[in-house]
């Protein structure tokens, strides 16, 4: 739970989530300055080998590939996922400019996660790309509205068990996020009429 930090993933896929842990209350001493309201830890599934496909309403289609292999003290796992749907239909939606028209909210997602464990070392690489089209962005709707969020992250962790009662954890990471938005802003209908009269 952040204090103004940029929220990179507006939607989180549950296709490879093993469990969700929630710690309520301040946790800044352990998890950093932004964890003053609580901590949500999403644990991914790294011990599964499966291929899953699905389809549903609104022309929804999704697929996921999970692979895990352990050789000695080294474990390799990766996850590839994709999701796409046409979205729900919204009738007579009025945007800030006064336009009233039907619209949809289609979503397309591509994501990948790679994790390598060796003894106490853990290396994690992640990629996430989400595309939203035709829905509300900056108060505007229509076929010409879109938003794309893209992020990549690298995580390095080391767990050092000094004795049965003492475990030291060292963690570091890097994240790069990009967003692009396309919005067409138009004056309200009354203002458009005034502009036409003025031109006449």
Cα distances (Å, whole numbers) of residue 142 to 20, 39, 91: 36, 37, 12
CA angle at 78 for the pair 17 and 168, rounded to the nearest 5°: 75
Would you say residue 197 has pLDDT above 60? no
Lowest mean pLDDT among 32-36, 72-76, 115-119, 124-128: 32-36
Roughly how many angstroms between the first and final C-alpha of the chain, as a whole number? 55
Taking only the tens place, the pLDDT of each residue in 170-196 is 888 888 888 887 765 555 454 444 434
Count Cβ atoms below 10 Å from residue 58 Cβ, excluding itself: 14
More confident position, 113 or 95: 113
Q: What is the mean pLDDT of the chain?
A: 78
pLDDT of residue 198: 42
Count Cβ atoms below 10 Å from residue 3 Cβ, excluding itself: 11
pLDDT of residue 195: 39
Nearest to 15 by CA among 76, 62, 69, 58: 62
Nearest to 149 by CA among 4, 11, 13, 42: 11
Kindly report the pTM of this predicted structure.
0.71
Taking only the tens place, the pLDDT of each residue in 128-172 is 998 887 765 555 555 567 778 888 989 999 988 888 889 888 888
- Cβ-contact 171, 155 below 8 angstroms: yes
Taking only the tens place, the pLDDT of each residue in 59-109 is 999 999 999 999 999 999 999 999 999 888 777 666 666 666 677 788 899
Tokens, residue 192: 């458009």
């Amino acid at each position: 739970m952040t204090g103004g930090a940029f929220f990179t993933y507006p939607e989180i896929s549950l296709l490879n989530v093993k469990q969700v842990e929630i710690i309520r209350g301040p946790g800044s001493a352990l998890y950093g300055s932004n964890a003053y309201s609580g901590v949500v830890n999403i644990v991914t599934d790294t011990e599964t080998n499966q291929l899953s496909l699905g389809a549903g309403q609104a022309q929804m289609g999704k697929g996921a590939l999970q692979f895990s292999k352990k050789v000695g003290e080294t474990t390799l796992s990766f996850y590839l996922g994709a999701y796409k749907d046409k979205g729900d239909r919204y009738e007579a939606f009025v945007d800030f400019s006064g336009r009233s028209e039907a619209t949809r909210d289609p979503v397309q997602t591509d994501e990948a996660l790679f994790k390598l464990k060796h003894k106490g070392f853990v290396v994690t690489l992640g990629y996430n790309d989400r595309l939203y089209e035709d829905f509300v962005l900056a108060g505007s709707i229509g076929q010409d509205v879109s938003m794309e969020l893209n992020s990549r992250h690298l995580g390095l962790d080391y767990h050092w068990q000094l004795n049965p009662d003492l475990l030291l954890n060292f963690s570091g990471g890097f994240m790069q996020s990009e967003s692009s938005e396309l919005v067409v802003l138009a004056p309200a209908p009354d203002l458009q009429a005034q502009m036409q009269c003025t031109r006449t």
